[in-house]
């Protein structure tokens, strides 16, 4: 009999060797027969099974994963030896990105032993609904119309405006609602009005409630 180099097998989290599945580091002796005419010799070998873990890939977003449209953010990948971003093909661990829409960042992280992990992180736009605190529908050409401003990935489904007695004085399904301060042909009096807006943000329905003051 004689010795030969170790027979080794490597894999990420598991490896199949000679029909057997291994999930942890293992070493053992194996004996094989080698026919060398006219003899039949034994080969003493040592089998070495080496299992490497997948890298602990992570994405960190700064300052937050919920931002305003046009805001710059830092996207930091960690946990590995090299990085590959899906949407930019960048290989840097750190990206700077200007957010213009809801987006999913995906990075493939490679460890020292070539095992790979892929991780994703979504960044959403803040749904912004702004209603003027005051408007003055007196036909002077200045702030005569109550206009609702929105920003982000949202869709307005319906708007209602209530007077101080809870009566609906304006109702619209227009995605860009505007009110001129008139209800049933009459100018509405000065005072506070409650505004209720139903909208969809990222596929989910929500209701915004605010207030404005009408001044004559």
DSSP secondary structure string for all residues of 60-84 = EEES-SEE-TT-EEEEEEESSSEEE
Q: Give pLDDT tens digits along the chain (216 positions).
A: 334 456 778 888 888 888 888 888 888 777 655 555 555 555 567 788 888 889 999 999 999 998 888 899 999 999 999 999 998 889 999 999 999 888 999 999 999 888 999 999 999 888 889 999 999 999 888 999 999 988 777 889 999 999 999 999 999 999 999 999 999 999 999 999 999 999 998 778 889 999 999 998
Report the alpha-carbon distance of residue 214 to residue 64 in Å, rounded: 37
Q: What is the pLDDT of residue 4?
A: 45
CA–CA gap between residue 146 and residue 178 (Å, rounded): 5
Euclidean distance between CA atoms 44 and 6, whole angstroms: 9
How far is C-alpha 28 from the chain's CA centre? 46
Q: What is the pLDDT at residue 146? A: 96
- Give the pairing type, strands 154-162 and 191-201: antiparallel
Contact (Cβ atoms closer than 8 angstroms) between residue 64 and residue 24: no
Q: Calculate the CA dihedral of residues 69, 73, 79, 81 and round it to 10 degrees.
A: 110
Contact (CB, 8 A) for 49 and 27: yes
Sequence-distant (≥ 6) Cβ neighbours of residue 148 within 8 angstroms: 129, 130, 131, 156, 159, 176, 177, 178, 195, 197
The CA-atom distances, in angstroms, between 169 and each of 3, 193, 195, 196 are 95, 9, 10, 12
pLDDT given for residue 12 in this prediction: 87
């Amino acid at each position: 009999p004689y010795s030969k180099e170790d027979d080794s097998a490597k894999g990420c989290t598991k490896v199949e060797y000679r029909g057997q599945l291994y999930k942890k580091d293992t070493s053992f002796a194996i004996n094989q027969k080698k026919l060398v005419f006219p003899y039949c010799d034994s080969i003493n070998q040592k089998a070495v099974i080496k299992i490497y873990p997948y890298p602990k890939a992570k994405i960190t977003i700064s300052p937050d994963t919920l931002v305003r449209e046009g805001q710059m953010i830092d996207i930091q990948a960690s946990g590995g030896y090299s990085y590959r971003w899906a949407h930019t093909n960048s290989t840097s661990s750190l990206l700077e990105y200007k957010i213009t829409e809801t987006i999913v960042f995906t990075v493939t992280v490679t460890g020292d032993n070539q095992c790979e992990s892929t991780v994703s992180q979504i960044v959403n736009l803040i749904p912004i609904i702004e209603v003027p605190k005051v408007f003055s529908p007196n036909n002077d050409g200045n702030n005569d119309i109550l206009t609702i401003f929105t920003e982000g990935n949202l869709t307005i489904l319906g708007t209602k405006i209530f007077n101080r007695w809870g009566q609906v004085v304006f109702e619209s399904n227009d995605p860009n609602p505007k009110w001129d301060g008139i209800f049933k042909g009459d100018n509405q009096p000065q005072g506070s009005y409650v505004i209720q807006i139903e909208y969809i943000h990222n596929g989910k329905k929500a209701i915004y409630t605010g207030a404005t003051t009408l001044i004559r």
